[in-house]
């Protein structure tokens, strides 16, 4: 099975994550970038992106005080609702840096908040986020080009942009040592991942891991071209209606927090689901889980480790369905690796 999967760029991009993190942890100028961020005297820190890039901001803002996730899809649709009377530090994430919403965010900032400082974290040194100038302060972090995933699904691009931002905005730490520890854990974890394809999948978690669940669900739906419906929710929110999604052949994954009392709520849900849906497959990922993941740095830092399980499953399930793993929508023309075809409109009066 592994030999068959190795022909896909996406499979290899998942497995290259540990080596990327180790090398990048030695290269990233954390001290210099933190000094630049502190010097901007911004009112607030915004994390902007679309799709998976937006979920990076969701994960971080759920863990780091004083930060806010503002998806570029929201900002571009109604820029004046956000860019009026404040001076945020706008952190934009983008694998290609060329999506329509990335360009629209830059346009909106130019028009409505030209003096707002900007930090661009991107995987493409030739994209707009890396090359376009700004009227105000601008810093660009170009990740190693190996993170510019060739596959449709964002994998190493997602995790490396997330860890980069955590290194800059979470509490100071020995970044190289932390990246190495996460890489070692993922190296040990990857060979054990993979499960049979279900009829549908559910991912839940709390705090940052709720948004890790959102990314996990997206990975499965993207890679299987919608043939494996997937739902995400928070641990406590799941009971309030979304649990009706579960059928007998459903894979339910609970990302368990290391923090009390959150961990107790996660454990309670696992017990409840196993009792109520004995034919469903319920998997607990986290400390002391069915798939054990240590989380000594907190749940946000562990998000890439949790999501790796969905990345692996998504590739395997796509292959089982006979899909082109690197472009599951081949021949459909409905989704593309870089979102295009969105008509940008002016910022309005």
- Mean per-residue pLDDT over the chain, rounded: 95
The pLDDT score that the predictor gives to residue 3 is 76
Residues 6+ apart with CB under 8 A from 167: 28, 30, 173, 175, 178, 179
* pLDDT tens string 300-320: 999 999 999 999 999 999 999
Write down the pTM of the prediction. Answer: 0.95
Q: What strands, in cross-sheet order, belong to the sheet with 138-142? A: 67-69, 45-48, 89-94, 118-122, 138-142
Q: Is the pLDDT of residue 211 over 60?
A: yes
Q: Is the pLDDT of residue 186 over 80?
A: yes
Dig out the tokens for 135 from the structure: 């009227």
The pLDDT score that the predictor gives to residue 306 is 98
* pLDDT tens string 255-264: 999 999 999 9
How would residue 334 be classed by pLDDT, with cut points 50, 70 and 90? low
Distance CA 91, CA 47 (A): 5
The pLDDT score that the predictor gives to residue 336 is 59
The pLDDT score that the predictor gives to residue 202 is 98
Q: Is the pLDDT of residue 333 over 80?
A: no
Q: Is the pLDDT of residue 178 over 60?
A: yes
Dig out the tokens for 129 from the structure: 């986020």
Q: Is the pLDDT of residue 344 over 90?
A: no
Q: What is the mean pLDDT of residues 202-206?
A: 98
How would residue 335 be classed by pLDDT, with cut points 50, 70 and 90? low
CA separation, residue 190 to residues 52, 144, 181, 218, 267 (Å): 21, 22, 15, 20, 24
Q: What is the mean pLDDT of residues 139-153?
A: 96
Q: Is the pLDDT of residue 177 over 70?
A: yes
Q: What is the mean pLDDT of residues 18-37?
A: 98
The pLDDT score that the predictor gives to residue 138 is 98
* pLDDT tens string 30-55: 999 999 999 998 989 999 999 999 99
CA angle 168, 169, 170 (to 5 degrees): 105
Using the 8-state DSSP alphabet, how is residue 303 labeled? H
Residues 6+ apart with CB under 8 A from 177: 25
Q: Where are the alpha helices (DSSP H) in the chain?
A: 2-5, 9-15, 17-27, 30-39, 52-61, 72-77, 100-112, 128-131, 156-169, 175-189, 208-223, 262-276, 299-320
Judge contact between 263 and 213, C-beta under 8 A: no
How would residue 201 be classed by pLDDT, with cut points 50, 70 and 90? very high
Distance CA 93, CA 113 (A): 18
| Letter string b/e over residues 167-177, b meaning 16 or more CB atoms within 10 A of that residue's CB | bbbbeeeebbe
How would residue 130 be classed by pLDDT, with cut points 50, 70 and 90? very high
Q: Helices 299-320 and 52-61 sit at what angle, rounded to 10 degrees?
A: 150
Dig out the tokens for 76 from the structure: 């571009």
Percent of the chain with pLDDT over 70: 97
Q: What is the mean pLDDT of residues 103-125?
A: 96
Q: Which residue is listed with tokens 């290609």?
A: 96
Q: Is the pLDDT of residue 126 over 80?
A: yes
Question: How many of the other CB atoms lie within 10 Å of CB of 273?
Answer: 22
Quick check: helix, strand or coil at residue 341? Answer: coil
Q: What is the mean pLDDT of residues 142-163?
A: 97
Judge contact between 157 and 123, C-beta under 8 A: yes
The pLDDT score that the predictor gives to residue 332 is 76
Q: Is the pLDDT of residue 349 over 60?
A: no
Please give the domain boundaries of the chain with CATH numbers for all domains: 2-184 (3.40.50.10490), 193-320 (3.40.50.10490)
Q: At 116, give phi and psi (nearest 5°).
A: -65, 130
The pLDDT score that the predictor gives to residue 10 is 97
Q: Is the pLDDT of residue 58 over 60?
A: yes
For residue 242, with 0-12 CB atoms within 10 Å meaning exposed, 13-18 middle and 19 or more buried, which class applies? middle
The pLDDT score that the predictor gives to residue 1 is 61
* pLDDT tens string 276-300: 999 999 999 999 899 999 999 999 9
For 242-274, the DSSP string reads GGGG--TTEEEEEE--SSTTHHHHHHHHHHHHH
């Amino acid at each position: 099975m592994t030999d068959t999967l190795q022909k896909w760029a996406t499979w290899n991009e998942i497995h290259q994550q540990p080596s990327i993190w180790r090398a990048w942890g030695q290269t990233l100028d954390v001290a210099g970038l933190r000094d630049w961020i502190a010097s901007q005297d911004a009112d607030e820190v915004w994390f902007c992106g679309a799709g998976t890039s937006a979920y990076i901001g969701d994960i971080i803002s759920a863990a780091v005080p004083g930060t806010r996730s503002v998806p570029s899809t929201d900002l571009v649709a109604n820029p004046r609702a956000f860019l009026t009377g404040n001076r945020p530090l706008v952190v934009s994430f983008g694998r290609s840096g060329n999506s329509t919403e990335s360009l629209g965010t830059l346009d909106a900032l130019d028009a409505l908040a030209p003096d707002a400082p900007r930090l661009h974290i991107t995987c493409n040194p030739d994209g707009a986020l890396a090359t376009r100038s700004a009227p105000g302060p601008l810093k660009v972090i170009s990740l190693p080009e190996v993170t510019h995933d060739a596959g449709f699904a964002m994998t190493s691009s997602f995790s490396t942009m997330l860890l980069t931002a955590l290194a800059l905005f979470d509490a100071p730490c020995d970044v190289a040592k932390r990246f190495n520890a996460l890489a070692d854990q993922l190296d040990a974890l990857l060979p054990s991942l993979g499960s049979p394809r279900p009829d549908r999948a559910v991912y839940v978690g709390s705090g940052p891991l709720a948004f890790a669940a959102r990314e996990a669900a997206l990975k499965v739906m993207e890679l299987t071209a919608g043939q494996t419906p997937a739902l995400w929710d928070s641990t406590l929110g799941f009971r309030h209606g979304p649990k009706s999604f579960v059928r007998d052949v459903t894979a339910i994954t609970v990302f368990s927090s290391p923090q009390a009392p959150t961990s107790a709520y996660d454990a309670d849900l696992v017990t409840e689901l196993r009792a109520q849906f004995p034919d469903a497959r319920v998997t607990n990922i986290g400390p002391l889980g069915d798939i054990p993941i240590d989380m000594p740095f907190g749940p946000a830092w562990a998000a890439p480790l949790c999501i790796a399980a969905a990345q692996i499953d998504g590739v395997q399930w796509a292959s089982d369905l006979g899909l082109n793993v690197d472009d599951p929508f081949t021949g459909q023309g409905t989704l593309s690796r870089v979102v295009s075809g969105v008509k940008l409109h002016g910022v309005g009066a």
